Chain A
Amino acid sequence: MRWNGSPVLPGSWFVRVVWVALLSFGASLPVSAADLLPADRPVAEVIDHYIDATLAKAKITAAPSANDENLVRRVMLDLVGRIPTPVERREFVDSKATDKLPQLVDRLLKSPEFVDHQVNEFDWMLMQGSGNLRDYLTTAFREGRTWEQMFRELLLADEVDPKAKPPIDFVKTRVKDLDRLTNDVSSLFFGVNISCAQCHDHPLAKDWKQDHFYGLKSFVSRTYENGGFIGEKDYGLVSYLTPKGEQRQAKLMFLSGKLIDEPEKAEPDNKAKKAEQDELKKRADKKEPPPKPSFSRRAKLVEVALQPEERHFLARSIVNRIWARLIGYGLVMPVDQMHSGNPASHPELLDWLARDMAHSHFDLGRLMRGIVLSRTYARSSRWESSARPDAALFAVAQVRPLTPYQYGAALKLATTDPDMWKTLKSADDVAKRASDTARAGRSWASLFQPVSDNFQVSVSESLMMANDTRVMSEFLGDGGNQLVGRLKAIDNAEQQVECAVSTVLGRLPEAEERQAITGYLLSRKDRSIDALRQVVWSLITGSEFRFNY
C-alpha cells in the first residue's frame, strides 16, 4: 500500500491561492457595509443565508440535519468539552419542545463547564502547551469578559489578582524571542502570520512587506523582563536588512499600514543607561516592577488595533478561529493566513460576522451561540454517495478529531455505569457529577495527540490503547460504577450489546453491529467478562468515538 495522496494538504488551499492570484486580488478586503445583510438579523440566519447562497450557486444539495442523538453530542463536545450522559441525551432526544436546541445551548453557555472548556481551548490556542494562562482565562470566562478585554489584558495587564498568574504571561513567555512574540501576536490576534515577511516581502500576499513585520515588531521591541516583571523601555528602534543588504529603520506601523506618531525620545547616553541598569537591578532585588515608560508602544498597539478603522483584523481573526473550531474548517484557511492572496470562502459572511463581533464589543458567547444554532452547523456529517464536497462549501459537517481533553473526558464518561446517572436527584447533580467525571478523564490528555491541521493519529496512541494495563483498569474494569460492571449484570447478549453501544456511542446499534457484537460475545461464553471488556474496547477505540462528527 502506498500513501494516499499528499500529507500536506496541498490541494484546495493551493488551488484557491492560484485562483485568487488569477482572478480576485483584493477580494478579502472588507466588503462595504451597505452590501451586507442588515446588522439586526439573527447571527444563525445570516450564516445560513450566505452558506446556502453559495451552495445554490454550486448546485450542491447539502447534507440533511444530523439527528438529535448526533446533535446533542456535537453541541456538548463543542460548548462544554464532553459527551452527554445517557440521562442528558435522553432528555434532549425525548423533548418535544420546538426550541429545545436553543434552550440547551443557552443552558450550556451559562454553565461552569462552558468556562472549563473555553479555558482549555483558549489556553491551547494561545500557549500551545508552553506555559499556561489557565488562572487568568478562568477568571476571564467566568466573568464573561469580551475578547477585546482579553486582548488588552493579555498584552498589558501585569497584575489582575495578586494570587493568580497574570495575563501578561502571554508576553512574558515570549519576551526572550521578540520575533516570536511579534509573529504570535500577529497570527493569534490578527490572523496574519507574517513571519515570511521577516526576511523578505511575503511572496504570496502583496499586503505583507518587511515593513509590516518590523513595523509590528516595533510595538513590542522595547518590552523586556526584569525580576519576573514585564517592563518597557522608553527608547530603542528596530532596524533590519533588506534582501539586498540595505539597512532600514522600521517605522511604528500597524498591519493596515497606519503609521503611528509618537513623542520624540532620544537614545540615552551610556551613563544614563548604566543608571537605568542599576535601577532595574535594585527593583529586581526588591521584587518591584520596573518603571513605566512615558510612552508605551505596546499600549499603543492595543489602542490602534481596537480603532474602528483597524479593528477588523482582530474581529475577523477571532471570528474565523471560532468558526474553524466549531465547524471544523475556517472561512479562511489556514487560520493564520488571512490576507488578500488567500480570501475567505464566504467574504460577506466573514465581514458580517466580524462587524457583528466588533459591534458586540467582541462577545464570544454571542458568536458561538449563533454558529451552533445555524442549520449549517447542524448538518449531518455523513456523505456516502460521492466524494465529499470541498470543505469550504460547508455542505456537510466536518469530522473533527476530539482534542486530548475531549477524548480523555469522553473515555471516562462513556465507561461509567450508565444507570448511575439515573440515581442522581436533579439535572444539576447530573451535570456536576459529569463535570467531575470528565475532569478525571482529562488527566489522560497528555497521552493523546493535540489537534492540528492535517491531524493524524499516531501508532503511539493505538499501541497504548491496545497494550497499556492502565487502559484496562481505568476504562475496562468491571467494578460497580463502571460500564463493564453494569454489562456483566445483564444476562442477555442482545441487551448487553444495546447497553454497550448506546452508552459509548450514544445511539442504538444497527443490525450489522448487533450481529457482529452478539456473535463475538456468544463465542466467548467461557470468558464472558473478558469478552465484554473487549467489546467496550472496540467501541472506545473506534473512529466514531474518537471523532466529533
Chain B
Amino acid sequence: MSNTSLNRRAFLGTTAAAVTAYAADMTGLNVLSQPALAAELKKKDKRVILLWLAGGASQLETFDPKPGRPTGGPYRAIQTAVPGVEISELMPKMATRMKQTAIIRSLNTKIADHGGGATMMHLGRRDEPSVRFPDLGAVVARELGSADSKVPDYVSFYTQTEGRGSGTAQTGGFLGARFAPMYLTDKSTPPYLSRVESITDIDHQQRAELRDLLSKRFARAHETQSVGSHNQAYARVRGLMSSEKLFDIEQEPQSIRDKYGPTQFAQQALVARRLIEAGTPFVKVSRAWWDSHGENFETHLELVTELDHVMSTLIDDLKDRGLLESTLIVTLSEFGRTPRINQGLGRDHFASAWSTSLTGCGVNGGSVYGKSDADGNTVADGEIGASRLFSTIYQAIGIDPYKEYHVGPRPVPLVDNHADPVYEVLV
C-alpha cells in the first residue's frame, strides 16, 4: 500500500485545491486507515450476534401478533414488561425481558424468494453483478476486528438447509478473504484448528517460525498487500488454534449449559457468547427451517418456543456478564410470512410488512418502530427497507453508517443510498 499513499501525497501536494469537491469521498476513504479513530472504535469493543431464522419466521407468531383478526391464527397476544407492547404468547420469556429489546414492525424488503431475500438481508442491499458486496459480518469484522486477532473475527454457524448463505459472503466481498467467515455447520469446532498428531507442538511452532523467516526475506523485496495478507494468515494460525476451546461448551459450568439447554441452536448461541466474550466481533447463529408453507402453527409453536428460550437465555447471560451493553443481538430472517393462512394451514413467503428485533448495545429497549395494518398486509406506518435496518445496526454499534468504501473509482457506501438509521429504536 505504500505506493498508494505516496501517490496520494504527491497528488495532494500539487492539486489539493482542485479536489475540494472530492473531499467528502476522501474523508470516507481515510477513516479506514486512521489509526486514532479506529482505536477509538476498538476501545468500545462492540459486538454483534445475529440470530438468523432461516427460511423466514412469521412476524404474526413472534413480534407482530394480530389476535382476533382473520389473519391472526390461533395464538393470543400477551402483554410484555413494556406497557402497551404486546407480542405473541409463544414468547412469554421474551415478554418479561422486553425492556432490553426494540421491535421494528415495518420492514418492506420486496424480495420474497429464499436466495434473494437471504442475500439481501445479509448484504443490506440488493445484490449487483458488478460489485462483490461484503455482508454484515464481514463489514463488522472489518470495522471492529483487529488485524492480528487471535480469535476469529467472523464466525458463521450455518445450517445445511439454508446452505452457506450468499455467495459474496464466502469471500468477504470486496473487503477480501481476510474477512470471510469461519464456517461451521454443526456444534463441533471449525476445521483445522487442532494440530495433527504426527507433529509435536514445539515442532509445529518452530516450523512456523522457520516459514516466517524464509517468507519475510521474500516479503522485504516484495512489499505488497497480497504478500502481506499471506504472511498475516500464517501468523494467525497459532493464535486461532488456541481459540479452539472457545468452541467447546464443555468448558462452561454445568449450570450455564443447563440454562441454555440441549438443542443445537442453544448450544451454538452459547458458543457465540463464548466467542463474543473472547473478542470475536461478529457471530451468526442459524436456526432452520422456518419455511412453514404448511402447518405454520405447529412449526412456530416448536420454533418460536425455542427461540424465546434461547434468546432470553442469551440476553440474561450477556447481562450477567456485563456484556449486553456492548453486544447487539439481531434477530432476523430473509423475510416474514403471509398474513393470509393458506389451505394447508401454512403461511407463505412475505416481504411486504414484517418484523425484526434488536437487543442490547445501543438499543432503546422497549421501543417499537413502525406499524403494519390491522391484518398485517401492508406497512401502515414507518416503512423501512434493508438499508435503513443496516444503517440502524451500524449506528447501534458505533460504526458510522454514512461511511464509504471505494471499489476502484466507485464509492460504495456501507449503507445503500446512505440510508438513515432508525433513531427511534436507538438510545
A331 at the interface (CB under 8 A from B): no
Within 8 Å CB of B203, what residues of A? 524, 527, 530-531, 534
Query: A-facing mask of B26-47, CB < 8 A → 1, else 0?
Result: 0001101101001100000000
A242 at the interface (CB under 8 A from B): no
Complex Cα distance A341/B207, Å? Answer: 49
Take A4-B1, A538-B211 as given contacts and tell me if A463 and B228 are in contact as well, using a CB distance cutoff of 8 Å.
no
- Residue of B at shortest CB range from A195? B130
> A4, A472, A539 — which one has the most chain B CB atoms within 10 A of its CB?
A4
Take A184-B129, A383-B221, A542-B211 as given contacts and tell me if A8 and B174 are in contact as well, using a CB distance cutoff of 8 Å.
yes
The 10 closest A-B pairs by CB, nearest first: A11-B4, A458-B177, A5-B1, A456-B229, A456-B176, A538-B211, A195-B130, A17-B409, A463-B192, A462-B233
Within 8 Å CB of B1, what residues of A? 4-6, 11
B214 at the interface (CB under 8 A from A): yes
Complex Cα distance A107/B128, Å? Answer: 42
**Partner among A6, A184, A452, A527 whose Cβ is within 8 Å of the Cβ of B33:** A6
- Residue of B at shortest CB range from A19? B11
Within 8 Å CB of A516, what residues of B? 210, 213-214
By the criterion CB–CB under 8 Å, are B405 and A538 in contact?
Answer: no
Query: B-facing mask of A383-418, CB < 8 A → 1, else 0?
Result: 110011111000000111100000000000000000
Complex Cα distance A467/B201, Å? Answer: 12
B82 at the interface (CB under 8 A from A): no
A466 at the interface (CB under 8 A from B): yes
Within 8 Å CB of A180, what residues of B? 129
B131 to chain A, nearest CB (A): 8
**Partner among A10, A388, A467, A535 whose Cβ is within 8 Å of the Cβ of B224:** A388
Complex Cα distance A533/B226, Å? Answer: 26
Within 8 Å CB of A513, what residues of B? 214, 217
B119 to chain A, nearest CB (A): 13
Q: List 6 A-B contacts (CB under 8 A).
A: A9-B4, A14-B29, A457-B177, A460-B180, A466-B234, A549-B222
Complex Cα distance A400/B180, Å? Answer: 21
Within 8 Å CB of A388, what residues of B? 2-3, 223-224
A100 at the interface (CB under 8 A from B): no
Within 8 Å CB of B321, what residues of A? none
Within 8 Å CB of B146, what residues of A? 1-2
By the criterion CB–CB under 8 Å, are B191 and A547 in contact?
Answer: no
**Partner among B3, B19, B39, B196 whose Cβ is within 8 Å of the Cβ of A390:** B3
By the criterion CB–CB under 8 Å, are B206 and A520 in contact?
Answer: yes
* Chain A interface residues toward B at CB < 8 A: 1-19, 22, 177, 179-180, 183-184, 187, 193, 195-196, 204, 333-334, 336-337, 341-342, 381-384, 387-391, 398-401, 449-450, 452-464, 466-469, 472, 510, 512-513, 516-517, 520, 524, 527, 530-531, 534-535, 537-539, 541-544, 546-547, 549
B408 at the interface (CB under 8 A from A): yes
Within 8 Å CB of B130, what residues of A? 183, 187, 193, 195-196, 336
B410 to chain A, nearest CB (A): 7
By the criterion CB–CB under 8 Å, are B409 and A12 in contact?
Answer: no
Take A2-B35, A512-B217 as given contacts and tell me if A541 and B406 are in contact as well, using a CB distance cutoff of 8 Å.
no
By the criterion CB–CB under 8 Å, are B193 and A467 in contact?
Answer: yes
> B193, B230, B237 — which one has the most chain A CB atoms within 10 A of its CB?
B230
Within 8 Å CB of B33, what residues of A? 3-6
- Residue of B at shortest CB range from A397? B222
A216 to chain B, nearest CB (A): 14
- Residue of B at shortest CB range from A389? B3
B15 at the interface (CB under 8 A from A): yes
By the criterion CB–CB under 8 Å, are B410 and A547 in contact?
Answer: no
B175 at the interface (CB under 8 A from A): yes
By the criterion CB–CB under 8 Å, are B178 and A7 in contact?
Answer: yes
By the criterion CB–CB under 8 Å, are B210 and A538 in contact?
Answer: yes
B192-222, CB < 8 A from A = 192-196, 198-199, 203-204, 206-208, 210-211, 213-215, 217-222
> A11, A334, A547 — which one has the most chain B CB atoms within 10 A of its CB?
A11
By the criterion CB–CB under 8 Å, are A399 and B224 in contact?
Answer: yes
Within 8 Å CB of A193, what residues of B? 130
- Residue of A at shortest CB range from B175? A7
Within 8 Å CB of B178, what residues of A? 7, 456, 458
By the criterion CB–CB under 8 Å, are A1 and B11 in contact?
Answer: no
B171 at the interface (CB under 8 A from A): yes
Within 8 Å CB of A469, what residues of B? 196, 198
**Partner among B175, B195, B214, B232 whose Cβ is within 8 Å of the Cβ of A539:** B214
Within 8 Å CB of B254, what residues of A? none
B295 to chain A, nearest CB (A): 31
Within 8 Å CB of A19, what residues of B? 11, 15
Within 8 Å CB of B204, what residues of A? 466
> A11, A334, A466, A510 — which one has the most chain B CB atoms within 10 A of its CB?
A466
Within 8 Å CB of B22, what residues of A? 18
